[in-house]
Amino acid sequence: MSILHKLLSIQALRGNHKYYSYFLGAIFLLFSAIIGIAVGSVYVPIKEIIQIIGSAIFHFPLSETVDPMNTNIVLDIRLPRVILAGLVGASLAIAGAAFQGLLRNPLADPYTLGVSSGASVGAVITLFFHISLPVIGMLTLPLMSILGAFITIFCVLLFARKIERSMKVETIILTGIIFSSFFSSFISLIIALTGDELRQIIGWLLGSVSMRGWSYIFIIVPFFIIGSLLLLMNTKELNAMSLGEERAQHLGVNVEKRKLLVLIAGSILTGAAVSVSGAIGFVGLVIPHLIRIVWGPNHKELLPLSILFGAGFLIIADLISRTIIQPSELPIGVITALIGAPVFAWILMKRKIGKRG
């Protein structure tokens, strides 16, 4: 009887630990969003933010004390920017967590398979040749970027299958590196040939969520929902595959099918994120690492927590990028690199010291 009580108490502690981690992640995301909307060249009080958003959603009457200018700032500028940054951060973080588990490689992130480079090629070609598709107009850039991402993952998987029908992890990684290097060289060539578009192209490649608006949110949302659901439906299989493909097969996992699903889902998320924000590094690399250190490698918790903390992290990074040298803005990719690189170096050093110990 005492053993049974101990087992029940252990399960209760694990359950409480899980809910605590979700609660902490939700609080971090909520705090990041509120600060991201409130702080800027014009400070908007939190009370007014709640009234403005409540009025927009539930049609509550606005107080006469609310400044109309603050309403425009919140609804037309900062709220869509914060939501977009959150969606991009969440997409990159959950994709990075899935790729690291699937490829069993702590250095894996959403850019490992060359998807980011492929999406960037689509955007750079659009900017270089001034492509504007009929009807969609300004949405040509993100849609061409998504198309580049899908073509890239298709080519990577096709090439990897031609080399080895089982598509082992090592083959996929090497194939992704080959395509990434090729596309990076192609982008460098276009930059070398360009003239007036140089600043615009480089600015896009460094990453930003500035002046995107609600239309870009509507672009990324369906891809985020589809990609995230596909990954969340495969958490058990990811746990099995993170132990090795042979062990996963012994556990009854259809490794080839599940691997393909995870790769496609991660590529959908990465391509959509890159299409609306440009290339933003280290989010999909560092956030899943930190969550693994604190809460463990179980993908049932790792993936949802990556969404929460990845979204909050990129909102804070974007806030820093637009306030640190006001009135100018830094590319958000610069901020994530400045924060992410030292953190990742610390993680690697800690892992090495732990192995020595």
Distances (CA, A) of 40 to 67, 141, 179, 301, 323: 16, 28, 40, 34, 6
Residue 171 — pLDDT band, cuts 50, 70, 90? confident
- In degrees and rounded to multiples of 5, residue 104 shows phi and psi of 50, 45
Residue 301 lies in a domain: yes
Q: How many domains does the chain have?
A: 1
Residue 215 lies in a domain: yes
Q: What is the pLDDT of residue 15?
A: 52
Residue 177 lies in a domain: yes
Residue 19 — pLDDT band, cuts 50, 70, 90? confident
Residue 129 lies in a domain: yes
List of residues 6+ apart from 287 with CB closer than 8 A: 89, 93, 96, 97, 306, 309, 310, 313
> CA-CA distance, 85 to 82, in Å (whole number)?
5
CATH of the domain at 48: 1.10.3470.10
In this predicted structure, the answer to whether residue 12 has a pLDDT above a threshold of 60 is no
Q: What is the pLDDT of residue 9?
A: 47
Mean pLDDT of all residues in 22-32? 96
Residue 355 — pLDDT band, cuts 50, 70, 90? low
Residue 10 lies in a domain: no
In this predicted structure, the answer to whether residue 317 has a pLDDT above a threshold of 70 is yes
Residue 46 lies in a domain: yes
- For residues 100-122, one letter each, b for 16 or more C-beta atoms within 10 angstroms of the residue's C-beta and e for the rest, the string is bbbbeeeebbbbbbbbbbbbbbb
Name the DSSP letter for residue 139. Answer: G
Lowest mean pLDDT among 21-35, 77-91, 166-180, 275-289: 166-180
pLDDT digit string, tens, across residues 42-101: 999 999 999 999 998 888 888 777 888 999 999 999 999 999 999 999 999 999 999 888
Residue 211 lies in a domain: yes
For residues 95 and 287, the answer to whether their CB atoms sit within 8 Å is: no
pLDDT digit string, tens, across residues 201-231: 777 777 889 888 898 899 899 989 999 999 9
Q: 246 is in which domain, residue-wise?
A: 17-356
Residue 1 lies in a domain: no
> CA-CA distance, 184 to 205, in Å (whole number)?
11
